[in-house]
Amino acid sequence: MTRLAALAALALPAAAAADPPAGKKPNVVFILTDDQGYGDLSAHGNPVLKTPNLDRLHAEGVRFTDFHVSPTCSPTRSALMTGRHEFKNGVTHTILERERLTPKATTLAEVLKSAGYTTGIFGKWHLGDEPDRWPSRRGFDETFIHGCGGIGQAYPGGSGGDAPGNSYFDPTILHNGKFEKTKGYCTDVFFAQATRWIEGVKGKQPFYCHIATNAPHAPLDVRPEDEARYKDKVKQPNAAKFFGMVANIDDNVGRLLDKLKEWGLEKDTLVVFMNDNGGTAGVQVYNAGMRGQKGTPWLGGTRASSLWRWPGTLAPADCGRLAAHVDFFPTLAELAGARLSDDAKKQVEGRSLVPLLRDPKAAWDDRTLFTHVGRWPKGAKPDDHKFDKCSVRTTRWHLVADGKAGKPWQLFDVTADPGEKADVIDKHPDVVKQLAAEYDAWWAALPPYLVNEAAAGEKKEITFHELYRKQFGPK
């Protein structure tokens, strides 16, 4: 479908929302938050937090209600970028060079560029801080990022770390290879820069805008006026700070949606919202009835928001099919009409969600998803940690090893017991045998992909510190 034909189709009324969206080449704005759990959204039942703009995405889009990511951040980001499990990207941790995305992977940004898109990333990358690992080498035309996993973080003895002395307020950001000292709160800075970039590229070619906030990740540095919104509404001070950070994200989402409408881009633009792992500071207030949180293999560690809004093309609806981060890459590739290379086709393990975006009740074969928290000690043998915090998931079943039970596995029927309270392993030995065998086969295939394990012992100056010193002098 040509670009003009796609735009004409997008101008059809909402009744035409069932029109096949594949190949329409929409603009895409992808918003990914850091440590905001599934329950940290008022549309998901949070009794305290108010997120009217995220609720608008929820109300006006396709909502995947059983969507899963990794238990921590770099792994999720690598799966989103490649369409395959994080361990097969070499990503088994968030630090110590084990967060680096293998250079052999084809990224989503590269695929979209091949389909005629211009691409920009704003905020968190967290897939390698060395210049040859930067998003500018992985398909992004415009890059505006902080270092490491969060603003101000640094890990001596390795390459990962942010600009020295950096803060959530007035952060120093690496913009197209050079540091810039910005003014304002980090989330506001990222959204403002992304908005300026969209304004500059809109109408010239389709764009992919990747906004990855480091908020509401700890250290919970929040604007005082945002903390004040919740200071008297929750007993836990950290929850008030955390909710204030989420509220600030929500405000920025609202401003961006308003701009898209002002520019006449609403019907040309798919806006996708997700969070990168299970909840953190907010789970003490509300966790949507789930067990576990970030860093665990329980549903509370992996279930994520997945909201897809494209007015005039996607009809608002819930979709309860089992979906995952690995599906993001093939979905956007199909929407963009991209042709995947043979290597990219072999790489992708996920499924395109286009059939479900078109019809949320469409047939969807059952599948098996594997989770492992990773993060085994530096220099350890992965096989010694095979059953540390891992799980196997199908639509009905969740086989979990949490490292604490004194036995390898527990089994939960999550269709009947979404809170994972009753271990039914003794009642379904055949299910356990089958899922455990699938896990064994999956684990056995991993060693060739675990390319970062030996790198954990490397000693080098923190990359962003070295580059900062070269640009601004010793500090």
Alpha helix (H) residue ranges in 83-205: 108-114, 186-201
Q: 22-358 and 369-457: same fold?
A: no
Percent of the chain surpassing pLDDT 90? 89
pLDDT in tens, 322-341: 999 999 999 999 999 999 99
Q: How confident is the model at residue 5 (pLDDT cuts 50, 70, 90)?
A: very low
pLDDT digits (tens, 9 = 90+) for 221-230: 999 999 999 9
- pLDDT for 456 equals 57
Please tell me the distance from the alpha carbon of residue 174 to that of residue 166, in angstroms, as a whole number: 12
Return d(Cα 455, Cα 121) in angstroms, integer.
26
* Average pLDDT estimate for 276-302: 98
Contacts of 152 (CB under 8 A, 6+ apart): 162, 165, 166, 167, 168, 219
**Mean pLDDT of the residues in the chain:** 94
**Residues constituting the chain:** 475
Domain 22-358 has CATH 3.40.50.2300: no
pLDDT value at 160 more than 70: yes
How does residue 158 score in pLDDT terms, banded at 50, 70 and 90? confident
- Residue 108's pLDDT band (cuts 50, 70, 90): very high
Q: Give 403 or 280, the one with higher predicted confidence.
A: 280
Mean pLDDT of 86-96: 97
Give pLDDT, residue 406: 66
d(CA 452, CA 287): 34
Who contacts 126 (Cβ-Cβ below 8 Å, separation ≥6)? 73, 74, 77, 94, 99, 148, 149
At 14, the pLDDT band (50, 70, 90 cuts) reads very low
Instruction: Give the per-residue pLDDT at 457.
Output: 56
Q: Encode pLDDT of 59-82 as tens digits.
A: 999 999 999 999 999 999 999 999
Tokens standing for 6?
Answer: 């796609």
Band the pLDDT of 475: cuts 50, 70, 90: low
User: Rounded to 5 degrees, what angle do the CA atoms 383, 387, 388 make?
Assistant: 100
Which residues have CB under 8 Å from 25's CB, separation 6+?
Answer: 1, 3, 6, 115, 116, 117, 206, 335, 336, 337
Domain positions in the chain are 22-358, 369-457
* Spatial distance between the Cα atoms of 3 and 37, rounded to a whole number of angstroms: 37
Whether omega before 216 lies within 30 degrees of 0, making that bond cis, reads yes
pLDDT band at residue 2 under the 50/70/90 scheme: very low
Both tokens of 34, joined, read 């850091």
pLDDT band at residue 12 under the 50/70/90 scheme: very low
- pLDDT at residue 458 in the model: 61
Distance CA 425, CA 405 (A): 13
Spatial neighbors of 207 by CB under 8 A, at least 6 apart, are: 27, 28, 117, 118, 119, 120, 198, 201
Contact predicate 40/336, CB 8 Å: no
Q: What kind of fold does domain 369-457 have according to CATH?
A: Arylsulfatase, C-terminal domain (3.30.1120)
**Omega of the bond prior to 219 within 30 degrees of 0, cis?**
yes
What tens digit of pLDDT does each residue of 431-465 get?
Answer: 999 999 999 999 999 999 999 998 855 667 899 99
pLDDT at 156: 83
Q: What was the pLDDT predicted at 4?
A: 32
**pLDDT reading at 10 higher than 60:** no
Rounded alpha-carbon distances, angstroms, from residue 2 to 27, 115, 302, 305: 14, 12, 38, 32
**Which residue carries 């034909």 as its tokens?**
5
- Global confidence as pTM: 0.95
Q: What is the pLDDT of residue 358?
A: 97
What does the pLDDT average to over 146-161? 92
For range 303-309, the mean pLDDT: 98
- The predicted pLDDT at position 193 comes to 98
Question: What's the confidence (pLDDT) of residue 102?
Answer: 98
Q: Which of 99-108, 245-254, 356-365, 400-409 has the lowest mean pLDDT?
A: 400-409
Give the pLDDT band (50/70/90) at residue 305. Answer: very high
